Structure 1
Amino acid sequence: MLVQRILTALILAPLFVWAVFALPADYFAYLLLLFVAVGGWEFARLIKINQPLYRALVAGGIVGCALVAARHTQNLQTVLIASVIWWGFNLVWVISYPAKVQSWYGSGIVRVMSGVMLLAPMWVALINLHQGYGSEYFLLLIFLIWGADSGAYFIGKALGKHKLAPRVSPGKSIEGAIGGVIFSVIVMLIFLQYQQASVDSYAGYLLLAVVVSGVSILGDLFESLFKRVSNIKDSGNILPGHGGVLDRIDSLTAAAPFFLLGLNLL
């Protein structure tokens, strides 16, 4: 499994970085939309929709909502703020689990709308980030999330004693979460040094790194809620050693809207 994970990462990571810098903006947006479509297909399984036709309809509906939201660029801030508010509710569901499950899983319509709110704002945020701020800021977001994941893993393994959300994801620890935040802050510091940013701007950007790393963990935990209710280990198996696409972008679903909104406010 470890060898598969490493080989998959070694193949896909350089290709993705190339796509970020080399592909025209429109083509890159469609590439990201492909991830949304696959993520929607996988999410349908997490909400216990197993018939291929209905799963395709869910995925297509999510893609359609993302396209509609992207066409109304004048309402970008509204989309981002709506996503931030929605993630606030998700935090409540994570903290309260297993209570209040019916609030976010009892209705089929609510479950499908969760897929829309999970993936559509992420795509809108990512394409606007790529087109509005450039490839470097897009990769900054990716590295912030990777930093949070790596810090949480290594610090959690070494020092983790206090469970972060034991009923949702027993492997995560408070120490690991703090380590993830620290790693993300270090990534942001390196970026600010590279950009030769003014010292006056450091506080805002470092606060943004803290927020993004924190909500990236929330994104992971929120997917874990659906996995637990559906009794599914991975969202899919399309990526050898890594599970499904949704397993790889769960942190990004939460982090992307927060990151772009934060940049717009700085």
Structure 2
Amino acid sequence: MKATMTSTATPGEIAKFDALAAEWWDPNGPMAPLHAMNPLRCGWIARHLARGGDPARLGGLSLLDVGCGAGLASEGMAKLGAKVTGLDAAPAALAVARTHAAESGLEIDYREGMPEDLIAGGSRFDAVMALEVIEHVADRAAFLDALAALVKPGGMVFLSTLNRTARSFLFAKLGAEYLLRLLPRGTHDWKMFVTPAELGAEARRAGLRVTAISGMTPGGPRQGWRATPDVAVNYIVALTKD
């Protein structure tokens, strides 16, 4: 853990996603890709956290969702039994998250701020997840240090992100933002995508070790997203704090 931690978020990235708050829960809106992949992400994480081998029984494990936005993944994990805290620096998105959770009858502790704010308060969790977040942060090393500081020894950190490859540039940047219009233009900066090798090395320096990795790819219209060995575009990784 670094003695002095720099801010892990940039105002431009916060404003970008805060502006989408009202449309976040529209499954056909600008967050449609996240809606589509959310069952896979939550199910994959639950299987690696599950007590007794049942991914639908997380036994009240404390889980922090960093960069939670309007709460797609937070709600998914809460429905599986986790005790979820959602953290984001975008106030409009959090307002939507709180309203939607209340309407869904879910108890989720949503907080405005950044990881370093929780560290200062002494918060620690059984698991931490940051899904489609690390490719937007200002300082990956500081961000990983923060996630490691927020998880208890023996706990797990889960990240999903985009690989920096020619295929990801073609499909996740040009295809998704400009050709198919699945995402608003400017959602991603391909240069900020991170390879699994880079992520693994940076995680080790933060005291985390990779224990599982899987690619994520969209299936047919009725199939949803599925796990795959191919990590060339989207992937999800489990890290353990020893």
Q: TM exceeds 0.5?
A: no
Which entry has the higher C-alpha Rg, 1 or 2? Answer: 1
Q: Which has the higher strand share?
A: 2
The TM-score normalised by the length of structure 2 is 0.31
The TM-score normalised by the length of structure 1 is 0.30
